[in-house]
Amino acid sequence: MRKYVLLILLLFLTALAACSGGGSGGETASTGGTTESGSVALFITDNLADFSQVTATITEVTLLHTGSGTSCSIFSGEETVNLAELASESLLLDITNCPAQEYNRIRVETNSSVVLTQNHITDECTFVSYKDEHNNTNVLECDDTVCSLEINGIVNVFADQENALTLDFDLKEFEVENFGELGCTATMKVKPLSHDDVDDKKEEGMKESIKGVVSELNIETHTFTLTREKHVFTVLYNNVSQEGIDELLTLAQDNSLKTRAVCSLFNLESNECTASEINVGVEGIISELTETTFILTFNPEINVYYTGAKICGTLVNEAKAEVMLSGFNGTAYLAYEVEIRKDHDVKDAGELIKGIVSELNIEARTFTLTRGEHSFTILYNDVLQEGIDELLTLSQENGLKTRVVCSKFNPDSNECAASEVDLGVGGIISGLVDTTFLLTFNPEISVDYSGAAVYGALANEAEAEVMLFGFNGTDYLAYEIEIREKLTD
């Protein structure tokens, strides 16, 4: 069982502000006769540690007064956020009017699943518990998909004044068990932070940011409007020095692309942001891949220069990718991050199952895949990968985690007609040559890595995680290798 310590996520709730949202909230329950109100702005941020992706979905945040029964939902919807993108940054989610009074509880609701990536390995984990203010572990209240918890904390919303509350999803205190294995679970911790703690983080360089859709772009005055749901912001970008920023914003406006503005100054009363950085996200299909560029088609198509970009996954033609753009060099748009969406494509086409192989029947082309308490019957006669029988035999004999893509899936019978199968194995590299190496994990296998995506430096005695998809009669075939570390004496 492996246990990991994560990062910090902060929720900023600032009363009497103005700004954006991915959902909407509002007054509910009794107001105790109060007619005055203040507005509450909700931000999130993190301080990334071990995981390069921590994607969670926030569904609701509510202020409560347990005595009077008053409540105010300050965010309601579905906001899925990769917290890894928010280091030294607080992202505004929503702003809501609430009755001006004291609240003594904050209820937070999230989806039960959280997606984690570490060293190019991704796993979907489940929130199961949380730590209270005394670090005692408590079981989360969860239905099939949503978990909720209530934390103690006094929140005063004053009319005609600015009030601030910071919720710290203290991921340094989060515990993750069985990452990369069956039954990955996470324990969260949420606590209120003081106003001084928030000020300290701003002094350390944390900036506010907003996401939305660009309109009213004025290249002469270097301004545009950024709209997020019902909230509208004026963005001044004359201090943004990124190459081709005008062309990037024109692309965003013409195609309604989600745009992020990082604000060096942010006036919550006037909804004005003085931007220091701007980037644009676009998802499409890769084609005409070269060593430095590719075409990204999303109707329309653009030329993308990806040299120097962070690449998550393997660049190939016809791959679906999410590309983060930072500028334009006169010929191509400049990418700083490219994420290959292989699993998302798979899920669009069918179901994705991970587990342990047993009851392999090569003649019938079937096997059982077990994940936790669940067992699935897999039919793999449509899988065309070279040496699939040998690959499945290796998996079964060594209890290796195996992934199956189902072209057809029957949830009533738990039967899957597989279109693709691969598996992961960790071990020590030796006998390294130009195209192959030996991987020792008890037992030892020969691996052909020609054509594989390699993360890190291949070297003898290095510890590696290898993804296999077949067998050529001599070697197992790798499509991805992640170097963990090199062993030392």
CA-nearest of 213, 223, 201 to 272 is: 223
For residues 425-459, b (16+ Cβ closer than 10 Å) or e, as one string? bbbbbeebeeebbbbeeeeebebbbeebbebbeee
Q: Can you list the positions of beta strands (E) in 34-88?
A: 37-47, 53-64, 71-82
Q: Grade residue 343 by pLDDT with cuts at 50, 70 and 90.
A: very low
pLDDT, average across residues 336-344: 70
Give the Cβ contact number of residue 404 at 10 Å.
26
Count of H-run helices and E-run strands, the chain: 4, 36
Tokens 């499945």 belong to 392
CB 54 within 8 A of CB 16: no
Rounded Cα distance between 83 and 93, Å, is 13
Q: ∠ at Cα 103 (97, 106), nearest 5°?
A: 90
Q: Is the pLDDT of residue 311 over 70?
A: yes
Reported as a single tens digit per residue, the pLDDT across 403-457 is 998 888 887 888 999 989 999 999 999 999 999 999 999 899 999 998 788 877 8
Q: Is the pLDDT of residue 20 over 60?
A: no
Looking at the chain, the whole-number percentage of residues with pLDDT higher than 70 is 83
Looking at the chain, the whole-number percentage of residues with pLDDT higher than 90 is 41
Reported as a single tens digit per residue, the pLDDT across 258-287 is 999 999 998 878 889 999 999 999 999 999
- Specify the 3-state DSSP secondary structure of 316: coil
CA-nearest of 91, 96, 41 to 73 is: 96
pLDDT, average across residues 147-173: 76
Q: Grade residue 197 by pLDDT with cuts at 50, 70 and 90.
A: confident
Q: Is the pLDDT of residue 320 over 60?
A: yes
pTM higher than 0.85, yes or no? no
Reported as a single tens digit per residue, the pLDDT across 225-259 is 999 888 899 999 999 999 999 999 999 999 999 99
User: What domains are defined for the chain?
Assistant: 3-203 (no CATH), 208-348 (2.40.50.140), 350-489 (2.40.50.140)
Q: Is the pLDDT of residue 34 over 50?
A: no
DSSP structure class, residue 317:
T
DSSP structure class, residue 61:
E
Predicted local confidence at residue 5, as pLDDT: 37
Residues pairing with 87 in the sheet: 46
